[in-house]
Amino acid sequence: MEEFIAQGNDEHPGVIPHRTTPGWIEVIAGSMFSGKSEELIRRLRRAKIARQRVQVFKPLIDTRYSHDHIVSHSEMRHESGVVERASEILKQVRADTDVVGIDEGQFFDNDLVAVANELAQRGVRVIVAGLDQDYTGKPFEPMPQLLAVAEYITKTHAICVRCGQPANYSQRTVEVEGQVVVGASDAYEARCRRCFVPHADEPTRYDEE
């Protein structure tokens, strides 16, 4: 299945092995709580069942729940490496890896686009999950660029906690400035277009039963 087109072997290290079959890029994008991590983990588990070699990476900034796993809000988990910069992913991907999963793509630098392209060019299936918009509703780089170059795109939706419609926005519920404020239900909630306001807003209150 694999072939060292570039004649790379142990005696001539540094030559990147290519497979005969092309790779591709899949992007899973949506708001917070929309199931991006769950969907990424589901795809990675299926690949492993099919005995494919899988490597997973997340950015150093996101060690909220674990240093060596990606973890969904529903507590699904999958082991992962942590990297500071996108270029480190290229250094860490092994020559025989079939599938590379990347979570929280929006927290990486713009090199992630070149890294994903390079891996796909080598024949790797690359799956990137990430927020497509920040808490003000602006496209969250580098996800928009990844969406442009990806072969396959999945848009996931949460449920608006105000009205129950499909939610496409991550509403910040604490008064903190800055595009990157790492948090979960303590700082964000899912909202639809109508219920979203592009700045920090009061958290939704639930009536006591």
Catalytic choice (26, 39, 104, 118):
104
User: Applying CB under 6 A, which of residues 16, 159, 181, 200 lies at the interface with ligand ADP?
Assistant: 159
Handedness of CA 33, 36, 39, 41 (dihedral sign): negative
Beta strands 81-83 and 77-79 are unpaired
Q: Is 125 in the site for ligand ADP (CB under 6 A)?
A: no
Inter-CA distances, 34 with 22, 84, 170, Å: 30, 25, 10
Q: Is 74 in the site for ligand ADP (CB under 6 A)?
A: yes
User: Applying CB under 5 A, which of residues 19, 48, 155, 162 lies at the interface with Zn ion?
Assistant: 162
Instruction: List phi, psi (to 5°) of 32.
Output: -65, 150
As a whole number of angstroms, the distance between CA 155 and CA 109 comes to: 22
Measured from the CB of residue 172, what is the shortest distance to Zn ion in angstroms?
Answer: 16
The residues that touch Zn ion, with contacts defined as CB under 5 A, are: 160, 162-163, 165, 192, 195
Residues taking part in catalysis: 104
Q: Which residues bind ligand ADP (CB under 6 A)?
A: 30, 32-38, 72-74, 156, 158-159, 161, 190
